Structure 1
Amino acid sequence: KRQVILFILCVCVCQTGSETLRYSLAEEMERDAFVADVAKDLGVSLSQLAARKARVVSEGNEQYFRLNQNTGVLTVKETLDREEICPQSDVCTLFFKVFFENPLQLIRGEVEVLDVNDNSPVFPEKEMVLEISETLSSGSRLPLESARDKDVGSNSLQNYSLETNSYFSLNLGTGKDGGKYPELILQRQLDREDQPEINLLLTATDGGSPPRTGTAQVRIVVVDVNDNIPVFGREIYEVRLAENSPPEQLVVRVVAEDLDEGAYGKVRYAFTQTSERSRQLFQMNTDTGEIWLSGSLDFEEAKKHEMVVRGMDGGGLYAQCKVHVEVLDVNDNIPEIALTSISGSISEDAPPRTVVALFRVRDRDSGDNGRTECAIDGELPFSLTPTFDNYYELRTEAALDRERTPEYNITITAMDWGTPRLTSQERISVQISDVNDNPPEFTKTIYTMSVKENNNHMLRIGSVNATDADAGENARVSYALVPEQGKKPNVSINSENGEIYILRPLDYEEVRAFQVAVSATDGGSPPLSAQAVVRVEVRDENDNAPVVLHPLPNSSAKAGELVPRRALAGYLVTKVVAVDADSGQNAWLFYELAKATEPGLFRVGLHSGEVRTARAVSERDAAKQRLVVLVRDSGQPPRSSSVTLSLTLVEGFSEAHLRVSEEAPTGDVETPLTFYLIVCLSSVSALFLITLIAMVVVKVRRVRRMEVETGLAFPKITEESNSNSLPHSYLYDVCFAAGTVNSEFRFLRPLFPCFPSGLPAGPGDQRSSVCSQDVANLGEPGD
């Protein structure tokens, strides 16, 4: 029954300047076997162990250990076989490093793999055949093939034993390298005729507990006399071979001479006491002694090979020599870049000299062939800083800007110093994380939008747009109105897309334009913002009908305007004045005659609103005329208003009045109207006084002769005043409206003095008997 004794030695943590952890572990331990409590040995709490992302990295390509971040326990990943890991070493040490982040820390460690007795001694051949001359003298020593035990120390090969016989005893010899080998000592003379062949069992025993053994059959053939042994020309053959030597290359030729003749003088060569790996790499010609290279040498695997060559003659006598092959290193290994730690993302506001990655460069060659250097390709804001044991830190060298370069693909080139120089590359991708260092930017500083008046509620009139050069939440822009103290906004804004909406209907006649300030704020911390101005222009709609200012639509005058029956074509009767609260084309007004008592008697100016006679007034025309004037604007659809004019055709206006009325359209618009008014007022006042005195005198003298006259007689004045004013017989009122010319006025009423019939007229006057009651029939003047 095979038993494995497991040795777990105490954990030795050596607090040296380099903080190296040293442990030991027996081989053949099961998977996940306990090695050490690293967290306890380092004095690191389990929370720190996980927070700092502690991990173990073994040197070389194989990873033998794993570190549990939750317990801090170091365990083996797979069962360790010391003979496989360190086949030619008495001491087997595995090196590892413990890496911590935040901050970056590296601690060396080593685990010595202790040997257990899990391998039995093994002879190269199961049967060893010795041909011995019968004349061999007693006490002669016959070396035998040594057994090999992969274990080391006390578990290695310790002793040989030979089954009991009458011819040979066993002795242990010690070679120059300290190794033990068995040899037979002849105790008494052999006799081929008595016993031509002797079979013995050779047993090799190691020092394990329990010990392990291996056996080989020794067959001794007794031959005739052969009294000369082969002799090699040199005891040691030394050869130097480059590791890139091609297979089948001749390494060396060993020669042994035998003075015997015939079969006893023919020497045959073979390897003995040679490792299995050397037997795989080298091949011997048994007849010529030539040693050929049969495999590929590797300096990094084994720097030298030692072989023992035995030359045996036909009589069974042999001699041995050693062949030492030194393997020369050539630059056949490229540098290897092994990333230990890397930060996949780094903030753009990281200060210079921030560590981004940690890596190691390894070249398995030696000398200058294994000496390496590193560099970064291209002009990048990064640099390499060597630390120790060929470790390098990748650090930032300058300020970073994500908006300019969001990602860096860094190519690290490692180059050795061999000839030719070999290189390798490793590409590292570093993402630059965003910080909120850019405020939003509007596409315009002033946005101009327009809307028609009388709009609907929440009508969209446009949008503003702002962009942010940052990324993620830092680039998410929200919009808002900048509040104005004491003002109620007319618009609202969609905080997500910047669309502008009118809150309520607008009136162009009240508000023609307004502006608001809009802010765009990003989602960073702290948030950054920018402002723009939105100007809203209100477009006019034809929503106001024309308003007639003159004559007033609700005027209560019954007589209205007086038109003399002797008026000619073009006589100015009155002027309709209207305004429209709209603007532009919507406020352009047109006047037209919608309805008239005599359709062909009057006309209205299309643009001026002047009411004039279209032809001379005739006696057949009715005394009362009614006109409906329509005022229409130019909007779409057009709006209109109307006003009704009442005209009275009267007789008795003076020739001067008619001439003034007829000449008014062609009169000089630059006549000083104020001067005319003063003269007219003076004349009217004087005329009033004279008339009053005359009436008193007439009443005293002709009281009984006064008669009521039914007809109206207008005085006839043949001359105008020197100042071009109207005759003294008329009282008039001048009314001005915006846009009228100086010649536009209207007559209110003439002064009709009542004279008794038969009263003679004064000099220069023409009178008619007028009844005051008839005058009242003419109606009151309009305002």
Structure 2
Amino acid sequence: ITCALEDQLSFSLRPAYKNYYELVTVSTLDREETAQYLLVITVADSGSPLLTTTQTFTVDISDVNDNAPVFNQTSYTMYVRENNIPAVLVGAVSAVDSDAGPNAKVIYSLGPVYAAERDLCSCISVNSENGHVFVLRSLDYEQVRQLEVLVSATDGGSPPLSTNVTVRLLVVDENDNAPVVLHPAQDSSPPSSEVVPASSEVGDLVTKVVAVDADSGQNSWLSFHLLRATDPGLFAVGTQNGEVRLRRPVTERDAMKQKLEVLVRDNGRPPLSATAVLSVLFLNGLSQEHLPQQEVAVQDEDSSLTIYLIISLVFVSLLFLTSVSAFVACKVCKGKELKGGHVLYGTGNLQSSLADGAAAGTLPHAYCYEINLTTGSGNSEFKFLRPILPSLAFN
């Protein structure tokens, strides 16, 4: 009797004992590629004619945990609107394991995060059975715009195998912030005035309203509209830039002080708005009594300060020029005296004065001193002369 295995590369028959044969593997088997094999074995005798019998066998390949779970995406991006309700479902992750039985059971969990991100990431939760992702608390776009967490998929094998994937949660902005007016300042009382010449022409810039919106995208697009004014026909407001310009020339019949209210509105749904209140003061050779009291005081103070500064500057300049002139004159005079060898005290003068002193009995001895100054080296020569008059005895 002979046994033969038909058309099979993974298995072979090996004689064992007499009419017994062993079915053995020829190559490594992978259950994930082929989980079941159908083997056809033919048995033949040695007679003539040859008689055969055919038998079909089924071989099932058992599973081992040799495959980790695989996510259906390399990364996930999910969106949640700010001011969301707690525990809102924002998406799901999905992973499959090509193993079988307990080895293919996938359990989802959040991966480790850094300590600095732990508080923020604690608001995200994932269902361990189906991979649904929830946001546990309300988020504010102006504080948190996106979060990133790692989600792990672990199988039930021994030892277990796992795979991580990044889930990026983007917070979608809602129009929950009204515009804020930066200029002109709205917290001053009384409101500051924009001073404009009354001779300004049509289209000249009067002032500009500056505002910001903390939202983003279309929710932060601002438009400006003239809400009311002392004379609405006098001003025009730029819808996109907030520039307030003259629509027509200023006439004598127009009030010199105009009050305007500009509406600042965003592009959200529903739109939010703020109001900017400003005043415009036209000047054209007017007396100071037409100005507000505060502006008059400021202008007077500025004028006085300017005058004091001019006077101080002139005085310091004159003092400096006088000092320099005096210094130069002294130097010139001293130079001439040194050059001529001038004798400070002559002998004739000393004799007459000493004689008078001797007659008066005020000096016991009379001496003559001569000081000669020379130019060049700066050194002086002092001479001691003999007495001019003999010693006199006084009673």
Equivalent residue number for residue 179 of structure 2: 546
Deviation, 1:691, is 10
Equivalent residue number for residue 138 of structure 2: 505
Equivalent residue number for residue 306 of structure 2: 688
- The correspondence of residues 548-567 of structure 1 with structure 2, limited to 5 A, is 548-558=181-191, 560-567=193-200
Does structure 1 residue 613 correspond to structure 2 residue 231?
Answer: no
Equivalent residue number for residue 576 of structure 1: 209
Deviation, 1:403, is 0.7
**CA deviation profile, 1:200-250 (whole Å, cap 9, x unmatched):** xxxxxxxxxxxxxxxxxxxxxxxxxxxxxxxxxxxxxxxxxxxxxxxxxxx
How many residues are treated as equivalent by the alignment?
A: 293
Deviation, 1:628, is 0.8
Q: Are residues 380 and 691 of structure 1, via their aligned partners in 2, closer, same or farther at CA, if it must alter by over 3 Å?
A: closer
Does structure 1 residue 648 correspond to structure 2 residue 281?
Answer: yes
Equivalent residue number for residue 43 of structure 2: 414
Q: Secondary structure at the match of 1:534?
A: strand
Q: Which amino acid aligns with 2:92?
A: S
Unpaired runs of 5+ in structure 2?
A: 288-301, 312-395
Equivalent residue number for residue 366 of structure 1: none
**CA deviation profile, 1:397-430 (whole Å, cap 9, x unmatched):** 3322111111112222101111121111122212
Q: Which amino acid aligns with 1:689?
A: I
CA distance in 2, matches of 1:562, 1:686: 21
Tell me which structure has the larger Cα radius of gyration.
1
Instruction: Give the one of 370, 377, 400 matched to 2:29.
Output: 400
Deviation, 1:443, is 1.7
Does structure 1 residue 440 correspond to structure 2 residue 58?
Answer: no
Q: Are residues 692 and 391 of structure 1, via their aligned partners in 2, closer, same or farther at CA, if it must alter by over 3 Å?
A: closer
- Aligned residues of 1:565 and 1:651 also touching (Cα < 8 A): yes
Equivalent residue number for residue 373 of structure 1: 2
Deviation, 1:607, is 1.6
CA distance in 2, matches of 1:461, 1:476: 24
Does structure 1 residue 473 correspond to structure 2 residue 102?
Answer: yes
Q: Are residues 558 and 525 of structure 1, via their aligned partners in 2, closer, same or farther at CA, if it must alter by over 3 Å?
A: closer
Does structure 1 residue 462 correspond to structure 2 residue 91?
Answer: yes
Deviation, 1:547, is 0.6
Q: Secondary structure at the match of 2:4?
A: strand
Equivalent residue number for residue 521 of structure 1: 154
CA distance in 2, matches of 1:618, 1:630: 26
- Aligned residues of 2:175 and 2:219 also touching (Cα < 8 A): yes
Deviation, 1:613, is 1.9
- The correspondence of residues 714-753 of structure 1 with structure 2, limited to 5 A, is none
Q: Secondary structure at the match of 1:688?
A: helix
Q: Are residues 691 and 522 of structure 1, via their aligned partners in 2, closer, same or farther at CA, if it must alter by over 3 Å?
A: closer
Deviation, 1:392, is 2.2
Instruction: Give the one of 258, 264, 276 matched to 1:625.
Output: 258
Unpaired runs of 5+ in structure 1?
A: 1-371, 655-683, 694-783
- Aligned residues of 2:192 and 2:278 also touching (Cα < 8 A): no
CA distance in 1, matches of 2:231, 2:306: 37
Equivalent residue number for residue 232 of structure 2: 599
- Aligned residues of 1:602 and 1:611 also touching (Cα < 8 A): yes
Deviation, 1:501, is 1.6
- Aligned residues of 1:440 and 1:468 also touching (Cα < 8 A): yes
Equivalent residue number for residue 192 of structure 1: none
Equivalent residue number for residue 430 of structure 1: 59
- Aligned residues of 1:564 and 1:652 also touching (Cα < 8 A): no
- Aligned residues of 1:559 and 1:648 also touching (Cα < 8 A): no
TM-score, reference length from structure 1: 0.36
Deviation, 1:649, is 3.7
Q: Secondary structure at the match of 1:600?
A: helix
- Aligned residues of 2:191 and 2:278 also touching (Cα < 8 A): no
Does structure 1 residue 491 correspond to structure 2 residue 124?
Answer: yes
Q: Which amino acid aligns with 1:554?
A: D
Deviation, 1:579, is 0.7
- Aligned residues of 1:451 and 1:536 also touching (Cα < 8 A): yes
CA distance in 1, matches of 2:127, 2:192: 64
**CA deviation profile, 1:111-131 (whole Å, cap 9, x unmatched):** xxxxxxxxxxxxxxxxxxxxx
Q: Are residues 568 and 436 of structure 1, via their aligned partners in 2, closer, same or farther at CA, if it must alter by over 3 Å?
A: same
Equivalent residue number for residue 739 of structure 1: none
Deviation, 1:566, is 3.5
- Aligned residues of 1:476 and 1:522 also touching (Cα < 8 A): yes
CA distance in 2, matches of 1:596, 1:494: 60
Q: Are residues 641 and 421 of structure 1, via their aligned partners in 2, closer, same or farther at CA, if it must alter by over 3 Å?
A: same
Deviation, 1:568, is 3.1
Q: Runs in 1 of length 4+ with deviation above 4 angstroms?
A: 684-687, 690-693
Q: Which amino acid aligns with 2:194?
A: E
Q: Are residues 463 and 651 of structure 1, via their aligned partners in 2, closer, same or farther at CA, if it must alter by over 3 Å?
A: same
Deviation, 1:581, is 1.0
- Judging by fraction of residues, say which structure has more helix: 2
- Aligned residues of 1:566 and 1:618 also touching (Cα < 8 A): no
CA distance in 2, matches of 1:534, 1:691: 68
- The correspondence of residues 315-330 of structure 1 with structure 2, limited to 5 A, is none
CA distance in 2, matches of 1:690, 1:555: 31
CA distance in 2, matches of 1:448, 1:387: 61
Q: Secondary structure at the match of 1:555?
A: coil
Q: Which amino acid aligns with 1:561?
A: E
Equivalent residue number for residue 16 of structure 2: 387
- The correspondence of residues 198-347 of structure 1 with structure 2, limited to 5 A, is none
**CA deviation profile, 1:566-604 (whole Å, cap 9, x unmatched):** 333223222111011112222111111111111111121
CA distance in 2, matches of 1:576, 1:416: 107
- What is the CA RMSD across the aligned residues, in angstroms? 2.4
- Aligned residues of 2:227 and 2:261 also touching (Cα < 8 A): yes
- Aligned residues of 2:8 and 2:39 also touching (Cα < 8 A): no
Deviation, 1:556, is 0.9
CA distance in 2, matches of 1:559, 1:465: 62
Instruction: Give the one of 590, 606, 611 matched to 2:223.
Output: 590
**CA deviation profile, 1:248-289 (whole Å, cap 9, x unmatched):** xxxxxxxxxxxxxxxxxxxxxxxxxxxxxxxxxxxxxxxxxx
Equivalent residue number for residue 269 of structure 2: 636
Q: Are residues 392 and 581 of structure 1, via their aligned partners in 2, closer, same or farther at CA, if it must alter by over 3 Å?
A: same
CA distance in 2, matches of 1:613, 1:533: 57
CA distance in 1, matches of 2:282, 2:242: 20
Q: Secondary structure at the match of 1:412?
A: strand
Q: Secondary structure at the match of 1:585?
A: helix
CA distance in 2, matches of 1:393, 1:379: 15
**CA deviation profile, 1:174-205 (whole Å, cap 9, x unmatched):** xxxxxxxxxxxxxxxxxxxxxxxxxxxxxxxx
Q: Which amino acid aligns with 2:8?
A: E
- Aligned residues of 1:565 and 1:619 also touching (Cα < 8 A): no
**CA deviation profile, 1:666-688 (whole Å, cap 9, x unmatched):** xxxxxxxxxxxxxxxxxx78982
CA distance in 2, matches of 1:553, 1:686: 31
TM-score, reference length from structure 2: 0.69
